[in-house]
Amino acid sequence: MHTQDISSLLSENTYPGRGILLGRSADGHCAVAAYFIMGRSENSRNRVFIETEDGIRTQAFDPTKMTDPSLIIYAPVRSARGHTIVTNGDQTDTIYDGLTAGQSMAQALETRTFEPDAPNYTPRISGVITPTGDYALSILKSADGDPASCRRYTYSYENPIAGQGHFIHTYLRDGNPLPSFEGEPRQVALTAPDPTALAAALWDSLNAENRVSLFVRYIPLDGGACKSVIINKNNGKA
C-alpha cells in the first residue's frame, strides 16, 4: 500500500468529519494516537476537549448554546487494561466494558451500529492500541446509506512499522448528505518527533472554518509517562 502524507490528505479535504490516526513514532519508541473533530453546525462547533483521569471528553464551550448533546458529548479517549481506546462516539464506553470483560474491540462492537443521524448515518469509527503497540481500527457504516443494513470492518496491525500510521475518518468528503468513508484506512507517514509537532502539523492541515478540536498522544512502549497535546479552536489558543 502506498504511504501517503497526512497533511496533504487533510488539506485536500474540507470536511473529513471526525478522524482517528494510530501508528508508531519515527524512532519506534512510542505508539501514537490522534483524534480530531470538525463541525458545520453551531451545535457541533460549540465544543472543546478536556482531560479526564484516563483520557479526554468533549464538553460544551458555551453551555447556553448547546441544543442537543446526543452524539456530540462523549469520551473519545479512555484507557482499559493497558489499552488505549479512541472513538468518535459513546462506543468508547462499549469497548471499555468489553475489554474489561475480556472481549476484543470487534466483539464489543457487535452490539453497536452506525449513528442514527439520517440522512448521513455517520459511521462509528474506533481504534485500540494494545500495551505492545499493536493496534486495530474499526468502522461500522450503513450499506450505501441504507439504514436497514450495517457493514462492519476491522483492520489489525501487528508489529507496526516505525514512522508509519493508519488514518480513518467518518466522511469521504463534504456533501449533503455526507458520504461515508470508503476503503481501507489510509497508510500515512509519521515523521513528527513528538506530540507537539504532530499536533501542529495536523491542526494546520485541517480546514480552518470547520476544525473544532484535536488530541494527540505519544505512548512510550517502555511503560514511561504518556505525552499529550490538546488544541481547541474555542479556547482562543488556535
* 223-231: average pLDDT: 96
The yes-or-no verdict on residue 238 having pLDDT over 50 is no
> Is the bond preceding 177 in cis, omega lying within 30 degrees of 0?
yes
Q: In the predicted model, what is the mean pLDDT of the chain?
A: 96
* 63-70: average pLDDT: 92
Predicted confidence at residue 179, as pLDDT, reads 97
The yes-or-no verdict on residue 82 having pLDDT over 70 is yes
Query: Do 155 and 142 contact (CB within 8 A), yes or no?
Result: no
User: What is the tens place of the pLDDT at every residue in 126-155?
Assistant: 999 999 999 999 999 999 999 999 999 999
Q: How confident is the model at residue 33 (pLDDT cuts 50, 70, 90)?
A: very high
* 190-209: average pLDDT: 98
The yes-or-no verdict on residue 77 having pLDDT over 70 is yes
Interacting residues of 80 by C-beta distance below 8 A, sequence separation 6+: 54, 95, 96, 99, 100
Angle at 65 between CA 85 and CA 47, to 5 degrees: 25
Which grid coordinates belong to 68? 442537543
Helix (H), strand (E), coil (C) string for 52-97: CCCCEEEEECCHHHCCCCCCCCCCCEEEECCEEEEECCCHHHHHHH
The yes-or-no verdict on residue 237 having pLDDT over 90 is no
Q: How confident is the model at residue 12 (pLDDT cuts 50, 70, 90)?
A: very high
Predicted confidence at residue 55, as pLDDT, reads 96
User: What is the tens place of the pLDDT at every residue in 97-107?
Assistant: 999 999 999 99
Rounded to whole angstroms, the Cα distance separating 167 from 186 reads: 5
